[in-house]
Amino acid sequence: MPTSKIVGNQPIVPAPRNSEHFRLALSSTPANSVIALFGDINELPTLVAEASKWRKRLIIHFDLCDGLGKDRAGLKLVAKLGVTAVVTTKAQLVRLAQEEGILVIQRLFLVDSESLRTGLNLLKHTRPDMLEVLPAVVPAPIIANLLTQTRLPVMAGGLLSTRDEVLRVLKSGVTAVSTSRPELWSINEV
């Protein structure tokens, strides 16, 4: 099942924004996967090797990785390097990534009813392996609606600052929570 391949059995997914935090996420968290929210084409081989050394799956935010063409060639390189999954907001990249055998997390920013409606319509056509909603503090009924209408596993990320917020979001029905805050990476009550 793609969800277990993406996040494993740990619902907190570290999303470091720099190499220092990346190394911290690899070495000191129980997470099965790490989402790199930084980097460039030259760093990718090192990121893959470091994640592999720690037996973690590397997920990259494809849209934030400098130097990669946002096209099939860029995705072929990512697949060849051994990246497990990509995060993207771009609908056209979802299909291309899946054709290259890469798992895809499609990121949706839910700021109002219209963005929810547009996002749901988009997901009918893209069918990613997982959906990530931002901000994570989206009300539980919206999460329930997404789960019902898309039948996709949902990860929530963004605007989380406390342990209680993370636990509350996890209780809303999401599969996982992504966060760039190191102090939230090792919450063990989940």
Rounded Cα distance between 190 and 187, Å, is 7
Residue whose token pair is 């973690």 = 56
Ranges of the chain with pLDDT below 70? 1-2, 188-190
Residue whose token pair is 């990246």 = 83
What's the gap between Cα 95 and its chain centre?
Answer: 16
What local confidence, expressed as pLDDT, does residue 2 receive? 67
Check the CA dihedral 169-16-8-40 and report its sign.
Answer: positive
Q: How many residues does the chain have?
A: 190
What local confidence, expressed as pLDDT, does residue 187 receive? 85
Query: What are 103's strand-pairing partners?
Result: 85
Classify 2-183 by CATH class.
Answer: alpha beta
In the three-class reduction of DSSP (H, G, I as helix; E, B as strand; rest coil), residue 107 is classed as strand
What local confidence, expressed as pLDDT, does residue 189 receive? 60
What local confidence, expressed as pLDDT, does residue 131 receive? 98
Query: What are 176's strand-pairing partners?
Result: 155
pTM score, whole prediction: 0.95
What local confidence, expressed as pLDDT, does residue 188 receive? 66
What local confidence, expressed as pLDDT, does residue 190 receive? 56
Domain extent listing, the chain: 2-183
